[in-house]
Structure 1
Amino acid sequence: MENKSLNRIIYLLILLFCFASCHNLFDDDDDDQPVSEYLVTYEMIKSYTPTQIEWAFDNLFSGYPELMTIKDKFNLGLVVYKISYNTVLQGKDEVASGLVCIPMGEGPFPLLSYQNGTNTEHSNAPSVNPNRDLYLMLEFISSAGFVISIPDYLGFGSSDNIFHPYLHKESTVQSVIDMLRAVEELAQIRSVQLKDELYITGYSQGGWATLQVQKAIETQHSNEFNLEASAPAAGPYDLGYINDYIRELTEYPMPYFLGYICHSYSNLEVMTTPMVEIFNEPYASKIPDLYDGSKSGEAINSELTTVISDLLTQNYITNFETDGTFSSLRSALESNSISAWHTSVPTKIIHGTSDAFVPFEVSQNLYNDFKEEGAGDQVELIPLNEMDHTGGIIPAGLISVLWFLEISND
């Protein structure tokens, strides 16, 4: 898939949004009213008619033959809501937010939760920037008959007053599951009938979050959610492995990932290691100000360095595994990684074989571990041949959606 095709899609999606902004399918006098146990507020922000959806396929998706073969399934109008909902971070009540896409029709509709990838900008949260190309594409998927939940994650949207707990298992799982509960309450309020089917997927950080949520649902919430299938993609499932991988490199193209993890764990007080023990100056002193929600990952990278020996202290590079200085970080990486289990949920682990940000071996190792745990044919590894981290986003999404449609329509 060429970049010019993606650029054309983005341009036309923006044009379509302009049409959608001028037309609401119905008025909603109940917006922004506190309701229910989890749902705090909801606001309809835009809608699309079936005619606009048809236009989108004719003008946007002709370069994606996989989608064109199921064009007839994308025939419903849809409404997009911004919601806020109750959740918890380390025992403290918080109000998080996200986007919800609801198809127009009789239903019942299955529920799909999409966990987005690493974001450092408050302005790029799903509920803040619902016109971003990726979120627009997800909205159109709703026209195939899915109610779609897209969490902002804590630290973004309505909770941008707190620091995002990046790659923190407990709060991520809690916020995603609480949003699913809020979406169910919204569906009830709007008289939308839901199928007893949940599908989950996500990419990069979102792939990691998807697998964390899958395990939590299977082990703790199976009576509440009927998880039909899971498609985690390019996730950093084994944080210790990735840390070792980076320490052994001469250069790493995404140094802001490292700073994000360490700053997150420091804020959460699950890591007590001083930044100066991990990062060389001037980078150690820069890190707290770099992650203030105003800078992109690219901008943060430009303030750091890709040269590992310049970025990280020599003691960290050579003695991380044994030096007591790093014991709290070792523990945090281990406790926020995810190990295989005997899953009963059909799972596709998707990953680009040329990924230099999150190495393909992370998914290969996890797949092997699932097999050792007796998961059998329930888990499948889908290599995206010669695709890097960025190039795998759309193919992984297509694989996931087509698979979910196949299962849901059986």
Structure 2
Amino acid sequence: MPVSFYRNVLLASSLLLSACGGSDTTTSANTTNLTDSTNTSSVAVLPAIPTRIVNQRGALLDGQLVKTNTVPDSTSAISDPTAKAPAVIPVYDVKQYRVTYQTVDGGGKLTTASGIIAIPQKPAGAKSPLLSFQHGTVFLDKEAPSNDTVATSPVNIIASLGFVVIAADYVGYGASRGQDHPYLQKDPSAASVTDFLVAAKQWLAEQRLLLNDQLFLTGYSEGGYVTLAAQQALEAAGVPITASVAGAGPYDLQYTLDELLNTKALLAAAGGALGLSRPAPAAKYPGKIDEATVDLMMYILIPKESDIKFSKTFLMDWMANDYATMKYNSLYEWQAKTPTRFTHGRDDVTVPFGNAIRALEGMRTKGTPDLDLAECVAAPSDHTNCIKPYAQTMLQYFAGFARDL
């Protein structure tokens, strides 16, 4: 995606952040009726609401309240021994709003998407830091953030601590259900987040809800991958990010697919069912015999009950040995400006642990100044068992930066 576009995102974000109270000098809503006893003309004024952009990426379409979770709701959710929520103490009731906006699909076409905005119920005029949460791979639309508004959801738990939390559903979920989900494609993955960031700030400005100047990014599994994709895009545009935590993401696509598909003999199973072996190299065009192998692999990989359509582009690239495209869509070798932390477990067979090592080493080689890995110590340290430690690490790390909670 051209950097010029992301510079436009930066401009829109800066204007909206100002309208939402991004500067510490912005007057909060609860002072609009206060007057100085010695100067009755001293009345604070809120900033003007920006005009909505239309028919382009980041355009806000609609927003509706869908769920309110109280502090007791969130407290009960955390006490559930089966929950993946970290051991925290909820402070605020949370209202969750389903918001629709415009972004692009895997082919670059403008489309309507959705996401959730979770608002901690603070006193009028209080500011909050903004946190963008990127969800992991889910196979049912009901598990997308704007549909999963229960108290146990990570969006709700994080918001109950004082962050305004936004979470894009991604294309293929929510309002865009039925479209191909551009799985592990860097540009549309980043776009769903950066465009929602613009739309969310517009919505917050219209609701007169104030932000400070802090932005946090985080996600686990596919969400870890999307977090780095969005971080890379925002940094390229000059958008400041306070801190980022990515957990157990497939940052190196070729390495990940080589490990998962070759070592697990999934390709052999698919090829054997068709009487085939992997072409060297395979063609990745419709009608070629290797596409039948990919279709069978997708059938093996995706649960039968899934109601989400996953794009098979990532597998077609791998089957074709298209190293250039896989490298372009990978996120393990670049210079990050934002303080960034990885979390991962050595026993992870869903997303191989080597992704964290490769990203750590690759990004350090490129000159990333503030980067580290917090290795998961759960027993076993597999993909599922490391979700809760990731959440704990993320919140503890962000606590060192966050203001106005």
Report the TM-score, using the length of structure 1 for normalisation.
0.70
Task: State the match for 2:230 in structure 1.
Answer: 213
* Match status 1:379 vs 2:390: no
Report matched runs for 1:239-388 at 5 Å: 239-251=253-265, 271-272=284-285, 276-277=289-290, 280=293, 284=295, 287=298, 294-295=305-306, 326-327=320-321, 329-376=322-369, 378-385=370-377, 386-388=380-382
SS at the partner of 1:120?
Answer: coil
Higher RCO (C-alpha under 8 Å, 6+ residues apart): 2
Identity rate, percent: 28
* Match status 1:235 vs 2:249: yes
SS at the partner of 1:368?
Answer: helix
Report matched runs for 1:22-41 at 5 Å: 36-37=52-53, 38-41=59-62
Structure 1 CA distance, aligned partners of 2:76 and 2:108? 47
Report matched runs for 1:90-129 at 5 Å: 90-105=107-122, 106-129=125-148
Structure 2 CA distance, aligned partners of 1:52 and 1:176? 28
Structure 1 CA distance, aligned partners of 2:95 and 2:206? 14
Deviation at 1:195, TM superposition (A): 1.1
SS at the partner of 2:392?
Answer: helix
Structure 2 gaps, min length 5: 1-50, 54-58, 271-282
Determine if contact 1:54/1:75 at 8 Å carries over to the other structure. no
Determine if contact 2:341/2:374 at 8 Å carries over to the other structure. yes
Structure 2 CA distance, aligned partners of 1:293 and 1:80? 31
Structure 2 CA distance, aligned partners of 1:175 and 1:86? 9
Change (3 A) 1:181 1:367: same
Per-residue CA deviation, residues 302-331 of structure 1 (Å, 9 max, x unaligned), is: xxxxxxxxxx9xxx9xxx99xxx815x444
Match for 2:87 among 35, 59, 67? 67
Deviation at 1:130, TM superposition (A): 2.4
Deviation at 1:246, TM superposition (A): 3.0
Bigger drift between 123-132 and 343-352 goes to 123-132
Deviation at 1:191, TM superposition (A): 1.1
* Match status 1:184 vs 2:192: no
Structure 2 CA distance, aligned partners of 1:389 and 1:285? 25
Deviation at 1:387, TM superposition (A): 0.7
Structure 1 CA distance, aligned partners of 2:75 and 2:143? 27
Match for 1:173 among 173, 190, 194? 190
* Match status 1:389 vs 2:383: yes
Q: Which amino acid aligns with 1:185?
A: Q
* Match status 1:202 vs 2:224: no
Higher normalized helix content (fraction of residues) = 1
Match for 1:78 among 94, 98, 120? 94
Change (3 A) 1:36 1:288: farther
Aligned-pair RMSD on alpha carbons? 3.5
Change (3 A) 1:275 1:77: farther
Change (3 A) 1:341 1:186: same
Structure 2 CA distance, aligned partners of 1:234 and 1:290? 19
Determine if contact 2:284/2:291 at 8 Å carries over to the other structure. no
SS at the partner of 1:179?
Answer: helix
Deviation at 1:353, TM superposition (A): 1.0
Change (3 A) 1:274 1:351: farther
Report the TM-score, using the length of structure 2 for normalisation.
0.71
Structure 1 gaps, min length 5: 1-34, 257-269, 301-311
Structure 2 CA distance, aligned partners of 1:45 and 1:98? 12
Deviation at 1:168, TM superposition (A): 1.1
Structure 2 CA distance, aligned partners of 1:334 and 1:84? 32
What is the number of residues matched between the two proteins?
A: 326
Deviation at 1:52, TM superposition (A): 4.5
Structure 2 CA distance, aligned partners of 1:152 and 1:399? 24
* Match status 1:130 vs 2:146: no
Change (3 A) 1:409 1:371: same
Structure 1 CA distance, aligned partners of 2:52 and 2:300? 38
Determine if contact 1:229/1:346 at 8 Å carries over to the other structure. yes
